[in-house]
Amino acid sequence: MATNCGEASIVSVITDLQSTLSGQIVVEVVCHNAGIKMFMTIAAAFAVSIAFVVHYICQSLFFSPLAGIPGPKSFALTKWRLAFEDYKGTRTRKLHALHEQYGPVVLNMFSFSSVKRHGDRKKLFAHAYAKSTILKGETARTIETKARKFIELLERERDGRSIDIFPTLHYVSLDNITEFVYGDAGKTACLDSVEKDRALRDIMATGSRRFTWFMVHHPKFTTWLYSRTGLMGCIARRFYPLQEPIPYTDIKLHAMKAFRTFSNFSTEEKAKQSSLISKLWNHRSTQKEGGLDDLDIASECADHLDGGIDTTSDTLMFAIWSLSRPKHEKIQQRLINEVRNLSEDELNTDGIPRTEVASKLEYVDAVIKETLRLFAPLPASQPRSLPKDTTIDGYPIPARTVVSISPYIQHRNEDVFRDPLTFDPGRWLDPSQDAAQMNKLFWAFSSGGRMCIGMHLAMAQMTTFLAALYRKYTTEPRDGFDIVSPGITSRFEVFYDESCSGVREHQCQIVFKPQ
């Protein structure tokens, strides 16, 4: 009887046994049949799973429209392979190695998405960031004033010792961008040693990389985790990728406070402002349909504030550090010679090179450009996608595929940049080098419709700052910073000069000596 396992057999067995035996055998037969059915169900599920995996692997490696793009198979199979590099903080250097191995196109998985909406919004404040606007008028005077205040800070705090320029250059960029964006409603005074403004230091936190990784790769879970309150919040806090305060929290609070302050200004006070927020507010008040609401204005200004701090300060730090190294003594002296040759007419009343003049200094510009080439403030992958099919380097790319370009990798192309790891500002002025190709690959500010709108503001700040600084001082590294590189945090990674023996994240000790 134990071998009769079909449905008909079970029924007949039950009928025969009801009059003669206990129900135990019936249970055994039924259970035996159920066990077989469960086994068959599991086996079928396993087979389906195997078939799905095989189909996924075959689709990814052989039949996908992207299958022809070269690269490691593990990266083609799953986005988590690249996410693992993110977690280790080695994404950009790994991609650089893959490009050197496989060529200019490598396969990996991994604000406004509409080009028109992005373009329309950009038009609202394009004039404020125009080069002609930046180099003259109120913005230029602000830039010159901040350069003077930094020199005054050096005179107060230097006292024959080195200064950590990582935080102090953040003071410069913070004071510049807050005045540009918010004017009297939210400008900071870090260079005047106002402690409440200097307390906005969550932008310099080094522990943000793990938090950023979770926000990028597990956004819903991370948002849910940080939104828990009460008892659940106490439990959730033990699992935070980063304990509070979260980086940029204070900056965002400052942005909200500045917006409220501006909102409370009278109409006359608003009209007197030349800040970015005033220009957006004017658009709000004159456009009854399709204009910006309060949230649009507050969010837009906060984004511009975020984007204008680290980028400028980090570039200036690497520029000063590079110029200060003993092996670059001739480079520093050439820059000093250029800025010392400025006439009195080219200086403002405080003795600071006028912004418009500084922007035309060829060697100063070359120093900044070479710094941006080696130490782009956003060196990692910058994603892009198109709503239609396209072709990249001969490979068909389906619509809505995310592709990325990395300035770090672009700027180390040996076919275009001779000795790519060498700091050589002269390459940008050397007629024997292919300037057209170098400029084509130069991607520190991105390119196209999503090119950095603050490029002219950043360049004006940096050229004026370096010209003013090296008219007064020479610089040299301190505490081993000739052989140890300063490092900056960028999303999941720390970037530094890889030719050095070590790195000190968010620190750079420099000695300033009056000329």
Residue 131 C-alpha from the chain's centroid: 24
Which sign does the torsion angle of CA 258, 264, 267, 272 carry? negative
Intra-chain end-to-end CA distance of the chain, in Å: 106
* Cβ pair 507, 164 in contact under 8 A: yes
How far apart (Å, rounded) are the C-alpha atoms in residues 213 and 251? Answer: 21
3-state secondary structure string, 248-280? CHHHHHHHHHHHHHHHCCCHHHHHHCCCHHHHH
Angle between helices 276-286 and 115-125 (to 10 degrees): 110
8 Å CB contact between 468 and 151: yes
* CA-only gyration radius of the chain, Å: 31
Nearest-angstrom CA–CA distance, 456 and 453: 8
301 is in an annotated binding site: no
CB contact at 8 A, 117 and 90? no
Euclidean distance between CA atoms 174 and 182, whole angstroms: 12
Residue 353: asked if its preceding bond is cis (omega within 30°), the reply is no
Contact between residue 131 and residue 456 where contact means Cβ atoms under 8 Å apart: yes
- Sign for the CA dihedral angle at 306, 180, 128, 319 comes to negative
Alpha-carbon distance of 344 to 360, in angstroms, equals 16
Neighbours of 309 (CB within 10 A): 21
Among the listed residues 59, 138, 156, 85, the one whose alpha carbon sits nearest the alpha carbon of residue 460: 138
What count of other Cβ atoms lies within 10 Å of the Cβ of residue 245? 12
Angle between helices 165-182 and 455-472 (to 10 degrees): 130
Contacts of 257 (CB under 8 A, 6+ apart): 186
Amino acid at 125: F
Q: How many angstroms separate the CA atoms of 263 and 267, rounded?
A: 9
The Cα 216–Cα 402 span in angstroms is 14
Beta pairing partners, 512: 475
Alpha-carbon distance of 489 to 314, in angstroms, equals: 10
- Show binding-site residues for heme: 452
* Binding site, annotated residues: 452
